[in-house]
C-alpha cells in the first residue's frame, strides 16, 4: 500500500485518487497520523490539480463519514433543506424554512454564523430573546417532526473533518478550490439527513463568487456531486451585487424576514423566498410544478400558516414567539444616524461588499470566528436600486450605540451608493437555474 506522502505526491502530479485512498487520507488526518501541514499540502495540490466528480464525491463521503448523519426516518415526507453560499442581507432562511414547512415539506436546517462581510443565520436567530441554536439531536429531530422545521448550529458530530480542514484552508489560501468547497458544503448538508437540497449560489460583489462563470462552475459542481451522492439537488444563481432586501445586521434582518411571513417585506426578498421555496415544494413532492408551488407559498403567507409555523419553531427553541406579531420586541440600538444623498439622481447600484463591511465595522458581524456580535446594531437601506432620490434625502439609517463613533461607517455606507443621472435597466434576481439535467 502507498504511503500517505505518496498519495499527496500522486495528487501533486495530477493523478487520480481512488475512493479508498481519499477515505484513508481523511481518516488518517482525523487520527493524527497525517499532520496538518500534510493535509495543507494536499489541499494545495487539489487547488492546482482539481478533482473529478468521482474524487469529489469520495471526499464528500469521507468528510461526512467523519461524523454522524442525523436519522430523520421517523419524520414523514421528503426532507428538503436550502443552502446559500452567503451574502449581505441574506435573511432568506428565516422566512423560507417556516414557510416551506407550513406547506408540508419538513426542513431540517443546520446553519452557520457570519464571517467576514457576510451575515449568518444563527446570529440573526439569536437576536430573538431566548432563542437557542444549540440543541441536542433528539430535540432537533422532535422539533422537525412536531413543527416541520428546526434551525440549529453545526454540532461537533456534524462533519468534524470539514471543521478541521476548513481551518487549515482558511490560513493556507486554499478556500477557493471548487472540489474543496463542494465537499465542505455537501458533507455538512448531507449530515442533516435530508433527501434533497436547493442551493442559492450568490453572484456578485457581496458574494463569495464574484463572476457568473465562477458561480456557474460552483453550482454545476454542487449539483453534479450532490446528485452523484444520491440526493435531488437544484441550484439557483441569484444576484448579490446589492444587499438583499433593505436590512443588514441581525435583529433588523430578523424583523424583515418576519415581515415577509406577514405579507410584507421588500420585493426582492419575497422573490428570492418564493423562487427557492417553489423549488423546495416541487423537489419535496408537494407541488406539481413551480407555478403551483408559488401559489401555495403565497397562500401560506396570506392565511398566516407561515407566520404560525415561525411562532411554533421559535417557542420550541426557547425563544419569545411574540416577536412574530410584534417585531418591536427585537433589540434595536438606541440611536439612529441618517446617511443622506449628496446629489439628485437614480440609485444605479448599492455595493453589497461595502455595506457588508460597514455592518461588520459597526459590530453586527465578526472578523474572527471567536468574536461576539451586537444584535441590536444594523443598517436599514431606505432606497433600492432604480429609485429616484433627491439631494438630502435619507439613503440609509444606521441603528448605533454611539453616534460619534458612527461617522466613519456612515461615510462608508454613503460611498456604497452609486447615484446616476439615468434610471438603471431592470435586473433580475434569479440569474440561472441549474439542475442535474441542465
Ligand atoms: N462554505 C463552506 O461551508 N465551505 C467552504 O469551503 C466554502 C464556503
Name residues contacting ligand 1 (CB within 6 A): 166, 175, 180-181, 184-185
Measured in whole angstroms, the distance separating CA 34 from the mean position of its chain's CA atoms is 31
Q: Quick one: cell of 212?
A: 457568473
Predicted confidence at residue 115, as pLDDT, reads 74
Burial 35-66 (b: 16+ CB within 10 A, else e): eeebbbbbbbbbbebebeeebbbbbbbbbbbb
Q: Which of 43, 185, 369 is the best mutation target for the ligand 1 pocket, counting ligand atoms within 8 Å of the beta carbon and taking the most?
A: 185
Please state the atom number of ligand 1 nearest to the C-alpha of residue 181: 6
Looking at the DSSP assignment, which residues form a beta bridge with residue 434?
235
Give the active site residues.
Answer: 83, 162, 169, 184, 188
Q: How far is the CA of 186 from the centre of ligand 1 (A)?
A: 9
Q: How far apart are CA 97 and CA 109, in angstroms?
A: 8
Which residue CA neighbors atom 3 of ligand 1 most closely? Answer: 185
380 CA to centre of ligand 1 in angstroms:
28
Q: How far is the CA of 183 from the centre of ligand 1 (A)?
A: 8
Q: Which atom of ligand 1 is nearest to the CA of 180?
A: 6
- φ, ψ dihedrals at 55, nearest 5°: -65, -40
Phi and psi, residue 363, nearest 5°: 105, 0
Across 169-323, where does the E strand assignment appear? 196-203, 232-239, 247-249
| Residue spans of alpha helices (H) in 351-397 | 352-362
> Whose Cα sits closest to atom 7 in ligand 1?
181
What residue owns the CA closest to ligand 1's atom 1? Answer: 185
| Residue 162 CB neighbour total at 10 angstroms | 25
- Give the distance (Å) from ligand 1 centre to CA of residue 85: 7
- 336 CA → ligand 1 middle, Å: 35
Residue 175 CA: nearest ligand 1 atom is 6
Take atom 8 of ligand 1 and give the residue whose Cα is closest: 181
Domains of the chain with CATH codes = 4-50 (no CATH), 80-155+169-327 (3.40.1030.10), 332-420 (3.90.1170.30)
In the numeric block, which cell numbers belong to residue 92?
Answer: 432568506
Predicted confidence pLDDT, tens digits, the chain (438 residues): 999 999 999 999 999 999 999 999 999 999 999 999 999 999 999 999 999 999 999 999 999 999 999 999 999 999 999 999 999 999 999 999 999 999 999 999 999 888 788 889 999 999 999 999 999 999 999 999 999 999 999 889 999 999 999 999 989 999 989 999 999 999 999 999 999 999 999 999 999 899 999 999 999 999 999 999 999 999 999 999 999 999 999 999 999 999 999 999 999 999 999 999 999 999 999 999 999 999 999 999 999 999 999 999 999 999 999 999 999 999 999 999 999 999 999 999 999 999 999 999 999 998 877 889 999 999 999 999 999 999 999 999 999 999 999 999 999 999 999 999 999 999 999 999 999 876
**Ligand 1 center from residue 203 Cα (angstroms):** 15
- Centre of ligand 1 to C-alpha 121, Å, is 15
| Ligand 1, atom 5, residue with closest C-alpha | 181
Cβ-proximal residues to 338 (8 Å cutoff; 6+ apart), any chain:
394, 396, 397, 398
Give the DSSP per-residue string, 8-57.
Answer: HHHHHTT----HHHHHHHHHHHHTTSS-HHHHHHHHHHHHHH---HHHHH
181: CB partners within 8 A, 6+ apart: 175, 218
107: left (phi over 0), alpha (psi -120 to 50) or beta: beta
Q: State the distance from the centre of ligand 1 to the C-alpha of 170, rounded, in angstroms.
A: 10
Query: Which atom, in ligand 1's list, is nearest to the CA of 184?
Result: 4
Atom of ligand 1 lying closest to residue 185 CA: 3
**How confident is the model at residue 389, as a pLDDT?**
98
Ligand 1, atom 6, residue with closest C-alpha = 181
What does the longest C-alpha to C-alpha distance in the chain come to?
A: 72
How are beta strands 107-111 and 149-153 bridged, if at all? parallel
Mutate to test the pocket of ligand 1, among 166, 171, 221 (most ligand atoms within 8 A of CB): 166
Ligand 1 atom at minimal distance to the Cα of residue 112: 3
Instruction: Give the sheet arrangement for strand 335-340, strand by strand.
Output: 247-249, 378-381, 394-400, 335-340
- In this prediction, residue 436 carries a pLDDT of 85
Write phi, then psi, for 80 (nearest 5 degrees). Answer: -130, 135
Torsion of CA 207, 98, 278, 91, to 10 degrees: -20
Amino acid at each position: 500500500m502507498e504511503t500517505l506522502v505518496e498519495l499527496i505526491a500522486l495528487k501533486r502530479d495530477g493523478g487520480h485518487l481512488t475512493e479508498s485512498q481519499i477515505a484513508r487520507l481523511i481518516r488518517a488526518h482525523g487520527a493524527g497520523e497525517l499532520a496538518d501541514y500534510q493535509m495543507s499540502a494536499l489541499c494545495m495540490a487539489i487547488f492546482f490539480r482539481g478533482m473529478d466528480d468521482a474524487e469529489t464525491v469520495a471526499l464528500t463521503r469521507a468528510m461526512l463519514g467523519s461524523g454522524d448523519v442525523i436519522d430523520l426516518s421517523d419524520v414523514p415526507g421528503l426532507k428538503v433543506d436550502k443552502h446559500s453560499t452567503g451574502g449581505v442581507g441574506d435573511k432568506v432562511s428565516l422566512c423560507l424554512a417556516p414557510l416551506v414547512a407550513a406547506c408540508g415539506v419538513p426542513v431540517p436546517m443546520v446553519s452557520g454564523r457570519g464571517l467576514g462581510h457576510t451575515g449568518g443565520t444563527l446570529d440573526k436567530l439569536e437576536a430573538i430573546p431566548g432563542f437557542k441554536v444549540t440543541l441536542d439531536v433528539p430535540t432537533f429531530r422532535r422539533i422537525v417532526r412536531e413543527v416541520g422545521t428546526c434551525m440549529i448550529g453545526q454540532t461537533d458530530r456534524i462533519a468534524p473533518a470539514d471543521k478541521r480542514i476548513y481551518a487549515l484552508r482558511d490560513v493556507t489560501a486554499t478556500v477557493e478550490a471548487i472540489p474543496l468547497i463542494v465537499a465542505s458544503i455537501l458533507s455538512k448538508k448531507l449530515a442533516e439527513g435530508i433527501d434533497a437540497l436547493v442551493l442559492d449560489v450568490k453572484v456578485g460583489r457581496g458574494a463569495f463568487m464574484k463572476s457568473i462563470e465562477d458561480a456557474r462552475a460552483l453550482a454545476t459542481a454542487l449539483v453534479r456531486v450532490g446528485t452523484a451522492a444520491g440526493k435531488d439537488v437544484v441550484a439557483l444563481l441569484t444576484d448579490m451585487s446589492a444587499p438583499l432586501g433593505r436590512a443588514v445586521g441581525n435583529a433588523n434582518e430578523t424583523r424583515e424576514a418576519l415581515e415577509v411571513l406577514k405579507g410584507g417585506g421588500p420585493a426582492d426578498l419575497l422573490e428570492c423566498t418564493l423562487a427557492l421555496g417553489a423549488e423546495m415544494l416541487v423537489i419535496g413532492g408537494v407541488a406539481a410544478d413551480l407555478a403551483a408551488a408559488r401559489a401555495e407559498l403565497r397562500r401560506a403567507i396570506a392565511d398566516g400558516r407561515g407566520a404560525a409555523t415561525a411562532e411554533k419553531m421559535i417557542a420550541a427553541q426557547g425563544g419569545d414567539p411574540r416577536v412574530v406579531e410584534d417585531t418591536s420586541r427585537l433589540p434595536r440600538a438606541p440611536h439612529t444616524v441618517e446617511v443622506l444623498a449628496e446629489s439628485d439622481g437614480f440609485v444605479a447600484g448599492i455595493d453589497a461588499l461595502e455595506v457588508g463591511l460597514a455592518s461588520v465595522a459597526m459590530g453586527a458581524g465578526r472578523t474572527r470566528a471567536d468574536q461576539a456580535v451586537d444584535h441590536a446594531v444594523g443598517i436599514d437601506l431606505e432606497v433600492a436600486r432604480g429609485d429616484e432620490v433627491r439631494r438630502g434625502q435619507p439613503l440609509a439609517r444606521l441603528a448605533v450605540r454611539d453616534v460619534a463613533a458612527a461617522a466613519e461607517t456612515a461615510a462608508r455606507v454613503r460611498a456604497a451608493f452609486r447615484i446616476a443621472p439615468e434610471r438603471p435597466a431592470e435586473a433580475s434576481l434569479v440569474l440561472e437555474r441549474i439542475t442535474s439535467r441542465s
